[in-house]
A and B are shown apart, each in its own frame.
Chain A
Amino acid sequence: MSCCGPATLALAAAPAGAQGGPSREEIVLASHRIGEGLWQTDLSVPAVHCGACMRTVENALGRIEGVEGARVNLSTRRVSVRWREGADPSAFVPTLAAIGYPAHLDDPAADERDETLSGLVRALAVAGFGAMNIMLMSVAVWSGAEAGARDLFHLISAAIALPTIAYSGRVFFSSAWNALSHGRTNMDVPISIGILIAFGMSLYDTLNSGAHAYFDAAVSLIFFLLIGRTLDHVMRERARTAVKGLARFAARGVHVVHEDGRQEYLPLAEIVPGMTLMVAAGERIPVDGEIIAGQSDVDCSLVNGESLPREAGPGTSVEAGTLNLTGPVTMRARAAAKDSFLAEMVRLMEATEGGRSRYRRLADRAASLYAPFVHAAALVTFVGWMLVGGGWHQSLTVAVAVLIITCPCALALAVPMVQVVAARRLFETGIMVKDGGALERITEVDTVVFDKTGTLTLGALALTNAGDIAPADLAVAAAIATHSHHPHARAIAAAAQDRVRLAPVFDSVGEHPGLGLEATAAGHVYRLGRAAWALSDAGGITGTVLSRDGRLVAAFAFADRLRPGAQQAVRALKAEGLGIVLLSGDRSDEVLRLAAELGIDECAGDLVPGDKVAALAALAAEGRKVLMVGDGLNDAPALAAAYASMAPATAADIGRNAADFVFLREGLGAVPAALGLSRAAQVLTRQNLALALVYNAIALPFAVLGFVTPLVAAVAMSSSSVIVVANALRLGRADGGAPEPGRRAARVSEAQA
């Protein structure tokens, strides 16, 4: 039982055909040995919400025979289960599913510990310690300590500052060095130069009993900047883990039949062309190949966008990633996993030079203009003071003051703080954003390209003529249909869930792959499936029908369902003045029908993945900046090629990884919501940059004229940073400090949520 209301995230993310849970072999493949005959398996459990959920899950798993213990991590929504060798791990997923927590296997947590994050937090802790203690000394100095005490305080400050800067400053120094050695500049270059010169100068002054030292400024600068850096990293890491925690589509391994009839479960990477593989109903085809035995239907929607399943029998060629729906098949591998359809997509992705690779982050663009200016100002100040006879020591002191006061502390916080807050708000609405640059790029978009199957639609069929069918007949059909994975059967079962109890009790139900289902009850034979098979005389009837003893009882019509909010989302985007384009791999007539329904003017069907990339390139050549929204394997190259991209959580793995944004909820309102919030964030970012520049413009003349003491520098720097951070937090307010452009779109999406 979930205690926290409907588990919306889990619903959207649950993959089709995974009810049985992964096989024992697959779990072992995804687990790792932790010694003493113990194994550890990591499961992703998106529905865990609170303390009660944690207890329920841990207790349920703990009761399974052979389980040593289970521990839920509520932050990452994962549970790691430790079990003794010899136990049966295939019980984990069904056990959790039975108590209302759908779970799926997670990759072994080899890279579990986020080294970058702990490095950043350690640096932050050291900088915080240094900044606080140096500030204590500085307060004493500012309050007018006599010369002897002042020198002692300066000396202690220097002793604290040296290791602090050496340890915590590395983050900036290495990034600045990296940029400089590639002939670029970034925000870290002026920061590093400012810190190092300020420290060197202060050290010299301390040793010579000077009155002013800037240790406090240098160290608290590092502290403030590290706060921003760490928050930024935490946010991105959270999105990354959330996306990584979604269900995988491809199996980790395959059942291989050797020539001597022996069966073995092998990891996907060890499959070579010519091997004979067994694929059960409900599993995905692991590699490209040809079916040699068995009859089934395959669902290609994720691969090429076709919404209707295809028949498959001996001789049919199947592509990796398609879903085997109705019957077990034996197939011969034609290509290894790395050469299969999926790999073809990866090559296409690498070949397309995305618009985003040319994009430079706003902060970096600002820094490249700002850094030379700051350094020139400091140099001019130094030369100016030398010319008016200030002596080299005083001239250098003033120049250092200029560097410190203009050191882009506020500027460096201006962009990341807004993006951290924006990413957090998006996270709360179920949208993961991969990096800050994506928030900037999406605001420049003028065209939105949608995929059809799985993106504008749910990629799941629904019964359209339920009203025309007698309730009793529908109940019979639904009761039979519950026995199959076929999309038609699922649609019928879903349409009449509550009426199944009206149906007669069947003596037997059997599935005939590629044809349909047959059931017997009270001497009658019911068939649900293809008209040509179910009816003794089909005549002109095609499609899916229910027959009794060979006579037609009911015919069913199906259509792919629109994703909730698709209409509103398209309308909202159009109202924003964005061009909408529909590109699909499905049949052109289907595409045209949907485009007309949604009011989309530009559309194209029957596209292969290369065509989609070409279409995006053509749009880019017209100077349009495209947001690609898609889910299929065939969309992945387009997602990588577009200026910005979005994918639903139900998308194929590589598509999710290629997209800038991943939305977890079912509704398509995520698209205008992400756009609206990103635009609001962009407005705040610009405000912040302006605030930081205004502050610098005011402070600079004072610094140049030599009025800036360490006290003034510390106060000015802190206050400007606080102002910038406070302005960024306005985005987090419930009614949004969100200014005009994004308002409407955001509200539309909230109404759907």
Chain B
Amino acid sequence: MSDFFYLIPLSLGLGFVGLAVFLWSLRGGQYEDLDGAAERVLDDEDAPILPQRRTVPGQG
């Protein structure tokens, strides 16, 4: 059984990666508008996630 002990740090390490990714996404503000994100995923328009400098439609 002790042959498989290397799995413990492996699983802990993977868990840590998951935790770190979650905390990173939390800090990035990805959970601030969950309702909006659910709708935006259906949006066909290819708009950037954050309002960047973009050409405004309708003004040529």
A interface residues (Cβ-Cβ under 8 A, vs B): 50-51, 54-55, 59, 62-63, 65, 67-76, 82, 118, 121-122, 125-126, 129, 132-133, 136, 149, 152, 156, 160
Whether a CB of chain A sits under 8 angstroms from the CB of B10 is no
Count of chain A to chain B residue pairs whose CB atoms are closer than 8 Å in the complex? 68
Q: How far is the CA of A552 from the CA of B5 in the complex (A)?
A: 100
Structural contact, A55 and B43, CB atoms closer than 8 A: yes
Besides the known contacts A65-B59, A118-B26, A122-B23, 17 further A-B residue pairs in the complex with CB atoms under 8 A apart: A51-B39, A51-B40, A51-B42, A54-B36, A55-B43, A63-B58, A72-B36, A73-B36, A74-B33, A74-B35, A74-B36, A74-B39, A75-B32, A82-B51, A122-B26, A129-B19, A133-B15
Q: How far is the CA of A72 from the CA of B40 in the complex (A)?
A: 10
Structural contact, A75 and B35, CB atoms closer than 8 A: yes
Structural contact, A125 and B26, CB atoms closer than 8 A: yes
Partner of B52, one of A50, A65, A69, A136: A69
Structural contact, B8 and A69, CB atoms closer than 8 A: no
**Which residues from A are CB-within-8-Å of B50?**
71
Structural contact, B2 and A149, CB atoms closer than 8 A: yes
**Which residues from A are CB-within-8-Å of B23?**
122, 125
Structural contact, A126 and B2, CB atoms closer than 8 A: no
Partner of B43, one of A51, A62, A70, A82: A51
Chain B contacts with A in 8-60, Cβ cutoff 8 A:
8, 11-12, 15-16, 18-19, 22-23, 26-27, 31-36, 39-40, 42-43, 45, 50-54, 56-59
**Which residues from B are CB-within-8-Å of A136?**
11
Instruction: List 14 A–B pairs whose Cβ atoms lie within 8 Å, in order of A's numbering.
Output: A51-B42, A54-B36, A63-B58, A68-B51, A70-B51, A71-B50, A72-B36, A73-B33, A75-B35, A125-B19, A125-B23, A125-B26, A136-B11, A156-B8
Q: Which 9 A-B pairs have the closest CB atoms?
A: A69-B51, A51-B39, A74-B36, A74-B35, A73-B33, A75-B35, A129-B19, A63-B58, A75-B33
**Which residues from B are CB-within-8-Å of A74?**
33, 35-36, 39
Nearest A residue to B31 via CB reads: A121
- A458: min CB distance to chain B, Å: 31
- A452: min CB distance to chain B, Å: 38
**Which residues from B are CB-within-8-Å of A55?**
43, 45
- B58: min CB distance to chain A, Å: 5
Query: Which of B42, B50, B56, B57 neighbours the largest number of chain A CB atoms within 10 Å of its CB?
Result: B56
Q: How far is the CA of A67 from the CA of B56 in the complex (A)?
A: 9
Structural contact, A73 and B32, CB atoms closer than 8 A: yes
Structural contact, B34 and A62, CB atoms closer than 8 A: no
Given known contacts A69-B51, A74-B33, A129 and B58 CB-to-CB distance under 8 angstroms: no
Partner of B40, one of A54, A125, A152: A54
Q: How far is the CA of A278 from the CA of B59 in the complex (A)?
A: 38
- B14: min CB distance to chain A, Å: 10
B interface residues (Cβ-Cβ under 8 A, vs A): 1-2, 5, 8, 11-12, 15-16, 18-19, 22-23, 26-27, 31-36, 39-40, 42-43, 45, 50-54, 56-59
Q: How far is the CA of A136 from the CA of B53 in the complex (A)?
A: 49
Given known contacts A62-B57, A71-B50, A121 and B32 CB-to-CB distance under 8 angstroms: no
- B38: min CB distance to chain A, Å: 8
Q: How far is the CA of A55 from the CA of B22 in the complex (A)?
A: 28
Given known contacts A51-B43, A68-B51, A74-B39, A125 and B22 CB-to-CB distance under 8 angstroms: yes
**Which residues from A are CB-within-8-Å of B27?**
118
- B45: min CB distance to chain A, Å: 7
Partner of B12, one of A59, A125, A133: A133
- B18: min CB distance to chain A, Å: 7
- A391: min CB distance to chain B, Å: 33
Partner of A69, one of B39, B40, B43, B54: B54
Given known contacts A70-B51, A118-B26, A125-B19, A75 and B59 CB-to-CB distance under 8 angstroms: no
**Which residues from A are CB-within-8-Å of B40?**
51, 54
**Which residues from B are CB-within-8-Å of A63?**
56-59
Q: How far is the CA of A118 from the CA of B58 in the complex (A)?
A: 39
- A60: min CB distance to chain B, Å: 10
**Which residues from B are CB-within-8-Å of A62?**
56-57
Nearest B residue to A64 via CB reads: B56
**Which residues from A are CB-within-8-Å of B59?**
63, 65
Q: How far is the CA of A650 from the CA of B59 in the complex (A)?
A: 39
Q: How far is the CA of A51 from the CA of B42 in the complex (A)?
A: 8
- A538: min CB distance to chain B, Å: 56
Q: How far is the CA of A545 from the CA of B51 in the complex (A)?
A: 55
**Which residues from B are CB-within-8-Å of A75?**
32-36
Q: How far is the CA of A102 from the CA of B5 in the complex (A)?
A: 63
**Which residues from A are CB-within-8-Å of B56?**
62-63, 67
- B28: min CB distance to chain A, Å: 11
Nearest B residue to A121 via CB reads: B26
Q: How far is the CA of A55 from the CA of B46 in the complex (A)?
A: 12
- B13: min CB distance to chain A, Å: 11
Q: How far is the CA of A71 from the CA of B56 in the complex (A)?
A: 14
- A44: min CB distance to chain B, Å: 14
Nearest A residue to B19 via CB reads: A129
Q: How far is the CA of A160 from the CA of B8 in the complex (A)?
A: 12
Nearest B residue to A55 via CB reads: B43
Given known contacts A63-B58, A69-B54, A125-B23, A149 and B1 CB-to-CB distance under 8 angstroms: yes
Q: How far is the CA of A63 from the CA of B52 in the complex (A)?
A: 15
- B43: min CB distance to chain A, Å: 6
Partner of A71, one of B22, B51, B58: B51
